[in-house]
Structure 1
Amino acid sequence: MVAGRPVVITRPVKQGVLFQQRLSQAGLTGVLFPLLEIAELPDKTALLASLARLDSYAMVAFVSPNAIDHYVAHVQSWPKQVDIAVMGAGGVAALQAYGGKLQGVRIISPTNALKTDSETLLEELDLQRLAEKRVLIVRGQSGREFLADALRNHAVLVDQLPAYVRSEPVFDAQRQQQLQELLRQQAIWVITSSEALRTLHSWIGLLDEDIIVANMQRQQIVVPHQRIAETAQQLGFHSITLTGSGDEQLLVALQSQI
């Protein structure tokens, strides 16, 4: 616990378990409370078809570790001339699981460990070299358009490919009870997506108890990006800690509160 309070991990289960292990190694205890679920596409026709033309791309950009897991797993051997771009340390770590397929492949990611997102990735790209060439962006079924729009503005030919389905978990009786307990304990919530934060806010509203809603305002939210911090403010959260990007920065912020 941090100062006797639970650290709530709201990521999808796979990433949540990994971060829980990181917390344990740092002497902290995390509670899994996923606010997003990740599932396979119901129809992989387009995804599998893209593998046949993978070598026609100058670069493939993955928006998240989930995008990596749901695409690279289907690749037999990655073409060495096709660069890979990822948003940050989480993406680099996810690629390590497929190292045997990626020998000799150039991996591009933001060099500023304190800020890793589409904007900082764009700063690392050789946009003149990519002009008039094809780039594939692998993502969920929806997401930000910043990177695709920015690349197109530099004459890059962009394809976007959904690789997985992101959804809100079912807010069943067990989750309702767990949420009420966490709210009463004034937990520290690690929120790494605005979508997850909106789900939390929605679920709290469904509890329909004045004491629970009041407790919401006293929850501490730890976020790694300004956009998420702004969303938290808009939704009525009062105690918001903005860290640098990446798990290391989140851990430093949590440890500082012991």
Structure 2
Amino acid sequence: MSRKVVITRPTAQALPLAQQVTGAGRDAIVFPLLEIHPLPDLAPLRMALQDLSGYAMVVFVSPNAIDAAFGVLPAWPDNLPIAVVGEGSRKALAQHGVTSSNATIFSPVNKLRTDSQTLLEVLDLDALRGKRVLIVRGETGRELLTDALRSSGIEVIQLSAYRRAAPELDQARRVQLTQLLESQNDWIVTSSEALRVLMQMLNQLDNNDAVAKMQHQRIIVPHVRIAETAQMLGLTNITLTGSGDEQLFAALQSRA
């Protein structure tokens, strides 16, 4: 029997990859480990994005940040550079009509490690010194990029565009997770936070072997930091790919 592919992204981001997996003849299971919620009041976000003329660059930390911002933004201003971390964000920009053909988009060159550190490597920090940069993000997140920019003499404004939350482990999800552990499957996990949520869920199951069974599952991750988190949490069957769905899909095809 072919291994199932368990896609743990938030539902909206999981569905396109699930369709690709299904189209290739694999059985895709969407099991979100994070939920993305809009802010309860969008007025501050809308107001903050109304006039971007005072910024030298806007950084979007994720596809969710892009979707939330463009949901209230009528059009992207001409000549305003954008910085993103991964290939998923480039795709999200393209879905809103913004590509490298009509905008300047900075992103990491190293596809095996797409994060704030590798993004900093491609930014001209000297040219940004003394200017303002807007970072569009969730309500919480890592501060590495913000701290690094500020230490380079750049004024950074952070703007919350959405909120992340761990899904409730209700009875239906409890049963589904238990069933998934009964066979060996391929799990696509694209954030360290999602991995920590997964381990919390496993510890909530009425099954003393849940964590041990998870160690037999194949975990496919697109980033070194996520792989390191998986190892720290005791997972051992880890496949590291590059950034983007194409790399994840290639890893799936390598061992169906």
Shorter-chain TM band: over 0.9
Is 1:155 aligned to 2:153, yes or no? yes
Provide the C-alpha distance between the structure 2 equivalents of 1:64 and 1:229, rounded to a whole number of angstroms.
19
RMSD across aligned positions (CA): 1.8
Provide the C-alpha distance between the structure 2 equivalents of 1:29 and 1:186, rounded to a whole number of angstroms.
13
Give matches, 1:1-258, under 5 Å: 4-99=2-97, 104-258=102-256
Q: What amino acid does structure 2 have at the position aligned with 1:243?
A: T
Provide the C-alpha distance between the structure 1 equivalents of 2:89 and 2:156, rounded to a whole number of angstroms.
20
Provide the C-alpha distance between the structure 1 equivalents of 2:25 and 2:110, rounded to a whole number of angstroms.
27
Does structure 2 retain, via aligned residues, the 8 Å contact 1:116–1:246? no
Segments of 4+ in structure 1 off by > 4 A? 100-103
Structure 1: gaps spanning 5 or more residues:
none
Structure 2: gaps spanning 5 or more residues:
none
Q: CA deviation at 1:100?
A: 7.0
TM-score by length of 1: 0.93
Q: Secondary structure at the match of 1:18?
A: helix
Once structures 1 and 2 are overlaid, which stretch shifts more, 98-107 or 44-53? 98-107
Q: What amino acid does structure 2 have at the position aligned with 1:163?
A: A
Does structure 2 retain, via aligned residues, the 8 Å contact 1:114–1:246? no
Q: What amino acid does structure 2 have at the position aligned with 1:204?
A: L
Q: What amino acid does structure 1 have at the position aligned with 2:84?
A: V
Does structure 2 retain, via aligned residues, the 8 Å contact 1:109–1:124? yes
Q: What amino acid does structure 2 have at the position aligned with 1:105?
A: A
Does structure 1 retain, via aligned residues, the 8 Å contact 2:111–2:242? yes
Does structure 1 retain, via aligned residues, the 8 Å contact 2:112–2:224? no
Q: CA deviation at 1:219?
A: 1.6
Q: CA deviation at 1:202?
A: 0.6
Provide the C-alpha distance between the structure 2 equivalents of 1:78 and 1:95, rounded to a whole number of angstroms.
10
Provide the C-alpha distance between the structure 2 equivalents of 1:100 and 1:232, rounded to a whole number of angstroms.
34
Change (3 A) 1:133 1:189: same
Q: Secondary structure at the match of 2:181?
A: helix
Q: What amino acid does structure 1 have at the position aligned with 2:185?
A: A
Q: Secondary structure at the match of 1:124?
A: coil
Q: CA deviation at 1:111?
A: 2.9
**1:121-167 Cα distance to aligned partner (Å, 9 max, x none):** 11111111111110000011111111111111211110111100100
Identity of aligned residues (%): 53
Does structure 1 retain, via aligned residues, the 8 Å contact 2:220–2:240? yes
Does structure 2 retain, via aligned residues, the 8 Å contact 1:55–1:81? no
**1:48-73 Cα distance to aligned partner (Å, 9 max, x none):** 22123311111100010000000022
Count how many residue pairs are aligned between Structure 1 and Structure 2: 256
Does structure 2 retain, via aligned residues, the 8 Å contact 1:86–1:109? yes
Change (3 A) 1:101 1:73: farther
Q: Secondary structure at the match of 1:54?
A: coil
Q: What amino acid does structure 1 have at the position aligned with 2:188?
A: V
